[in-house]
Amino acid sequence: MQFSFHCPTKIFAGSECVDRNSGQLAALGNKALIVTGGSSSKKNGSLADVITALKKEGIQYEIFDEVEENPGLATVFRGGQRAKEMAADFIVGIGGGSPLDAAKAVAVLAVNEIRPEELLERNWSVKALPFVAIPTTAGTGSEVTPYAVLTVDTAETKISIAGEDLFAKLTFLDGRYMLKLNWQITANTAVDALSHSIEGYLNKRATVLSDMLALESIGMLGKLLQTMEPDHISLAQREELLYASMLAGIVIAQTGTNIVHAMGYPLTYYKNLPHGLANGMVLKAALDFIEQDCPERVGQVVKAMGCHNLSEVGELLTRVLPNVDLKLTRAEQKNFVGKIMKTKNLVNSAKIPEEKDIDEIFKLSNLADG
Amino acid sequence: MQFSFHCPTKIFAGSECVDRNSGQLAALGNKALIVTGGSSSKKNGSLADVITALKKEGIQYEIFDEVEENPGLATVFRGGQRAKEMAADFIVGIGGGSPLDAAKAVAVLAVNEIRPEELLERNWSVKALPFVAIPTTAGTGSEVTPYAVLTVDTAETKISIAGEDLFAKLTFLDGRYMLKLNWQITANTAVDALSHSIEGYLNKRATVLSDMLALESIGMLGKLLQTMEPDHISLAQREELLYASMLAGIVIAQTGTNIVHAMGYPLTYYKNLPHGLANGMVLKAALDFIEQDCPERVGQVVKAMGCHNLSEVGELLTRVLPNVDLKLTRAEQKNFVGKIMKTKNLVNSAKIPEEKDIDEIFKLSNLADG
């Protein structure tokens, strides 16, 4: 039994957990930069809760609310500049995966004078500022991972940076912030979390401990995806989604992602598909591929999801995800496959794909043009 | 769903994990004080492995090997003095619960000029030195908890101190160090771990996440206790014991212990019973007591252990633990009950005991004299 495990983030969950644990923020310093998107954190109550907590603790703050979906380097460098100017002691990221990942990069850039290439090469010398993660979708897992995924136009794809100092010091999981999320985002992000757990389970770096967390997460997400009513998602279900998504994040913090995420990145970069949806579109065919070598492990995934076979898994994904009418041209697909094969985590897949396998997964996912 | 979770320790497990991850030690500094007992770490190979790793990394070290079973304040203050004198950057604890807990106190005392009362009142201002835990028994869980239990003669009992800085920075779990442990210590320590998971599960502070870990740990320990052959315990079984014990430690790091540990402390202090054995002797009767209010949760424990009812649990404990011929006098029992009722964690029990309940548990455990 050989394994390692690391999950240093202090996790608080439940309604009003930010308010109830505001003292934890005070331990991080006197000045905070809040990093968030333009609107959702203002509408769902999360930003107001954070401001109330910061005021209660006498912490000065500024707000950088310029994070776009799939944040690019320009954004995080602007945020880093803001953090420097105010001499922030810590960063609070609020939002889905985009603001949280941007906030991590801002925490690095706040204390390091580096160029974009150095950020992407994980080449910084001063530890990132402490970072607090407040997810308002249930999918990213970023609140408990050491990763930040940034969109890099020079590379024409998304690139993941990693470092122990990118683990959040604190995370607050309050399902109330998701009560008004529409079904499409709810389903896309839940499928993102599901693919985290599945990719962590069907992974050469999987361990006895990550397996336990992955199967628990897959089980909860499978059940939720099968039983949630799009227009009537309860707070309890929102909390379960957040919890299962967090477990999935802890899983990939140990294992990394692999085939599905590698294939999802170009679909998001070039075709503007939401991250979770992009993953979900290739998930079933990726499972078909891995099953060839690992029927037992894939069988455990199917069983944990509450399904009888992979066809049922595919039907469930088709049912919960929006229908996308997309065919890649041959040239596009060739370009995508080239980028996918360069993804370093691919070697950790329980079955390592070759180019022809990626082509086949695109084909089985109805994305190949002939 | 309200919960919190914290497990900052970086965990490495598997044969030769100290050697394979020696670079992790270098990140903690240049000078280490090794805190251990008089003999076992010399015999089981753990001390030699640590020294090899420290030398490989160019780290100076000294050895403080004066930790007795159930370490007292005098010992940890001597250790703290040694750490100060050598200006240690970090502390490496090697051994069972006694050396690990002593090492934590040494890590505090190395950087704080405080009196014994201040240590016991958790009243120190400078964060403890980084601490590395290398367990050589599978029971304590100290490698992943923020607790250190010390024997305090002025209070005539064991007292637990706690603090976030008492979490180990690193722990190395190598089952090879336990290959020569005799059956009695193996069983006593496994029952200690089992009682950690059970007390964490039957606990008002139990959460969805601690429950998952507790049931996994109870399941593994139940199976191991039922199937291990005392003279032929394999490395794989040793590793499972260590893993299950670590999970149990993560559980009590969230919940704390309660009735069983509270009752075990005076049995150890006054009657010199090994810690795990002392817990094991009252565990079955404590379960009978809690079952009155929580039949379903106790039923889950029984089921996880692979038993059909509490009688079977009792029979299993009787079978694996040594027979102790001990009756408390009425005066002794009265003294014990008084101390037990002062244990602060008792209020977290799924069913909170009164004095008469503690008396009844002693009686059902065949420890009461009439």
**Given B10, B212, B243, which is nearest A208 (Cβ)?**
B243
Question: Is A169 in the same domain as A33?
Answer: yes
**Given A5, A216, A240, which is nearest B11 (Cβ)?**
A5
Shortest alpha-carbon distance between residue A11 and chain B (Å):
5
Domain with residue A313: its CATH number is: 1.20.1090.10
Q: Are strands A3-13 and A170-173 parallel, antiparallel or unpaired?
A: parallel
Q: Is A1 on the interface with B (CB under 8 A)?
A: yes
What is the ipTM, given to two decimal places? 0.94
Interface probe, candidates A209, A215, A246, A250, chain B, greatest B C-beta count within 10 A: A209
How are strands ordered across the β-sheet holding A31-37?
A60-67, A31-37, A90-95, A131-135, A170-173, A3-13, B3-13, B170-173, B131-135, B90-95, B31-37, B60-67
**Given A2, A7, A10, which is nearest B13 (Cβ)?**
A2
Helices (DSSP H) in B66-207: which residue ranges? 73-85, 97-109, 116-120, 183-201
Question: Is A74 in the same domain as A215?
Answer: no
Contact flag A12-B1 (C-beta cutoff 8 Å): no
Residue A208 lies in a domain: yes
Shortest alpha-carbon distance between residue A54 and chain B (Å):
20
Residue B121 lies in a domain: yes
The DSSP result for B113-129, as a single string, is ---HHHHHTT---SPPP
Contact flag B1-A13 (C-beta cutoff 8 Å): yes
Cα dist from B66 to A156, B37, B105, whole Å: 61, 6, 14
Q: Is it the case that residue A322 has pLDDT exceeding 80?
A: yes
Question: Is B91 in the same domain as B209?
Answer: no
Q: Is A127 on the interface with B (CB under 8 A)?
A: no
Nearest Cα to A60, choosing from A105, A28, A38? Answer: A28
Q: Which of residues 269-288 of B touch A (CB under 8 A)?
A: none
pLDDT of residue B79: 98
**Contact at 8 Å (CB) between A129 and A103?**
no
Mean of pLDDT values over B138-162: 92
Q: Is it the case that residue B288 has pLDDT exceeding 70?
A: yes
Return mean pLDDT, chain B: 96
Residues of A in contact with B1 (CB under 8 A): 13-14, 175, 236, 239-240, 243
The per-residue pLDDT for range B248-268, each reduced to its tens digit, is 999 999 999 999 999 999 999
CA of B241: which chain A residue's CA is closest? A1
Residue A202 lies in a domain: yes
**Given B10, B11, B208, which is nearest A243 (Cβ)?**
B208
**Given A6, A10, A175, which is nearest B6 (Cβ)?**
A10
**Contact at 8 Å (CB) between B111 and B149?**
no
Cα dist from A179 to A18, A97, A185, A242, B45, whole Å: 17, 17, 12, 12, 55
Q: Please give the share of chain B, as a percent, with pLDDT higher than 90.
A: 94
CA of B2: which chain A residue's CA is closest? A14
Q: Is it the case that residue B318 has pLDDT exceeding 70?
A: yes
Higher pLDDT, B255 or A159: B255
**Contact at 8 Å (CB) between A370 and A359?**
no
pLDDT of residue A369: 83
Contact flag A216-B216 (C-beta cutoff 8 Å): no
Q: Is it the case that residue A370 has pLDDT exceeding 70?
A: no
Helix (H) or strand (E) segment spanning residue B227: helix B208-227
Residue A351 lies in a domain: yes
Question: Is B234 in the same domain as B322?
Answer: yes
Q: Is it the case that residue B370 has pLDDT exceeding 80?
A: no
Residues of B in contact with A5 (CB under 8 A): 10-11
Q: Is A146 on the interface with B (CB under 8 A)?
A: no
Instruction: Give the single-character DSSP code of B47.
Output: H
The per-residue pLDDT for range B37-69, each reduced to its tens digit, is 989 999 999 999 999 999 999 999 999 999 998
Residue A370 lies in a domain: no
The DSSP result for B83-104, as a single string, is HHHTT-SEEEEEESHHHHHHHH
Q: Which residues, other chains included, contact A252 with Cβ-Cβ below 8 Å and sequence gap of 6+? A: A141, A145, A147, A196, A199, A200
Q: Please give the share of chain B, as a percent, with pLDDT higher than 70.
A: 100
pLDDT band with cut points at 50, 70 and 90 for residue A7: very high
**Given B4, B13, B216, which is nearest A11 (Cβ)?**
B4
Residues of A in contact with B216 (CB under 8 A): 212
pLDDT of residue A247: 98
Taking the C-alpha atoms of residue B13 and residue A2, their distance in angstroms, rounded to an integer, is 5
The per-residue pLDDT for range B326-352, each reduced to its tens digit, is 999 999 999 999 999 999 889 999 999
Shortest alpha-carbon distance between residue B137 and chain A (Å):
16
CA of A236: which chain B residue's CA is closest? B1
Taking the C-alpha atoms of residue A35 and residue A42, their distance in angstroms, rounded to an integer, is 12
What is the span of the domain harbouring residue A218?
Answer: 183-364
Residue B132 lies in a domain: yes
Question: Is B77 in the same domain as B159?
Answer: yes
Interface probe, candidates A5, A20, A213, chain B, greatest B C-beta count within 10 A: A5
Q: Are strands B3-13 and A3-13 parallel, antiparallel or unpaired?
A: antiparallel
The per-residue pLDDT for range B152-199, each reduced to its tens digit, is 988 888 888 999 999 999 999 999 999 999 999 999 999 999 999 999
Q: Please give the share of chain A, as a percent, with pLDDT higher than 90.
A: 94
Among B128, B146, B177, identify where a domain stops: B177
The per-residue pLDDT for range A112-149, each reduced to its tens digit, is 999 999 999 999 999 999 999 999 999 999 999 999 99
Shortest alpha-carbon distance between residue B359 and chain A (Å):
38
Question: Is A154 in the same domain as A190?
Answer: no
The DSSP result for A93-122, as a single string, is EEESHHHHHHHHHHHHHTS----HHHHHTT
Mean of pLDDT values over A240-267: 96
Taking the C-alpha atoms of residue A146 and residue A256, their distance in angstroms, rounded to an integer, is 10
Among B177, B196, B224, identify where a domain stops: B177
Taking the C-alpha atoms of residue A347 and residue B342, their distance in angstroms, rounded to an integer, is 56
Contact flag B239-A1 (C-beta cutoff 8 Å): yes
Q: Is A126 on the interface with B (CB under 8 A)?
A: no
Q: Is B218 on the interface with A (CB under 8 A)?
A: no
pLDDT of residue B157: 84
Q: Is it the case that residue B4 has pLDDT exceeding 70?
A: yes
**Contact at 8 Å (CB) between A67 and A97?**
no
Question: Is A215 in the same domain as A336?
Answer: yes
Q: Which residue has the tokens 């037992």?
A: A296
**Given A1, A21, A236, which is nearest B14 (Cβ)?**
A1
Question: Is B206 in the same domain as B271?
Answer: yes
Among A144, A177, A210, identify where a domain stops: A177
Q: Is A2 on the interface with B (CB under 8 A)?
A: yes
Q: Say how many C-beta atoms besides its own lie within 10 A of residue A16's C-beta.
A: 13
Burial-class residue A42 by CB neighbours within 10 Å (0-12, 13-18, 19+).
middle
CA of B244: which chain A residue's CA is closest? A209
Q: Is it the case that residue B113 has pLDDT exceeding 80?
A: yes
Residues of A in contact with B15 (CB under 8 A): 2
Question: Is B173 in the same domain as B38?
Answer: yes
Question: Is A115 in the same domain as A252?
Answer: no
Phi/psi for B93 (5° steps) reads: -95, 130
The structure's pTM equals 0.96
CA of A241: which chain B residue's CA is closest? B1
Shortest alpha-carbon distance between residue A148 and chain B (Å):
20
Residues of A in contact with B7 (CB under 8 A): 7-8
Q: Is A235 on the interface with B (CB under 8 A)?
A: no
Angle (nearest 5°) at CA B25 between B24 and B29: 120
Q: Which residue has the tokens 């007390």?
A: B199
pLDDT of residue A157: 84
Contact flag A13-B2 (C-beta cutoff 8 Å): yes
Burial-class residue A326 by CB neighbours within 10 Å (0-12, 13-18, 19+).
middle
CA of A244: which chain B residue's CA is closest? B209
Mean of pLDDT values over B222-249: 97
pLDDT of residue A344: 87
pLDDT of residue A45: 96
Residue B2 lies in a domain: no
The per-residue pLDDT for range A272-307, each reduced to its tens digit, is 999 999 999 999 999 999 999 999 999 999 999 999
Contact flag A5-B15 (C-beta cutoff 8 Å): no
The count of structural domains within chain A is 2
Q: Is A130 on the interface with B (CB under 8 A)?
A: no
Q: Is B23 on the interface with A (CB under 8 A)?
A: no
Contact flag B4-A15 (C-beta cutoff 8 Å): no
Question: Is A193 in the same domain as A116?
Answer: no
Q: Which residues, other chains included, contact B87 with Cβ-Cβ below 8 Å and sequence gap of 6+? A: B31
Domain with residue B154: its CATH number is: 3.40.50.1970
Contact flag B12-A4 (C-beta cutoff 8 Å): yes
**Contact at 8 Å (CB) between A277 and A222?**
no
Provide the β-strand partners of residue B60.
Answer: B31
Instruction: Give the single-character DSSP code of A31.
Output: E
Question: Is B238 in the same domain as B347?
Answer: yes
pLDDT of residue A316: 98
Contact flag A14-B1 (C-beta cutoff 8 Å): yes
Taking the C-alpha atoms of residue A175 and residue A234, their distance in angstroms, rounded to an integer, is 9
Q: Is B240 on the interface with A (CB under 8 A)?
A: yes
Residue A70 lies in a domain: yes
- Residue B322 three-state SS: coil
Task: Enter the tokens of residue A44.
Answer: 């769902």
Q: Is it the case that residue A154 has pLDDT exceeding 70?
A: yes
Helix axes B183-201, B275-291, angle to 10 degrees: 40
pLDDT band with cut points at 50, 70 and 90 for residue B30: very high
Shortest alpha-carbon distance between residue A108 and chain B (Å):
20
CA of B21: which chain A residue's CA is closest? A4
CA of B176: which chain A residue's CA is closest? A1
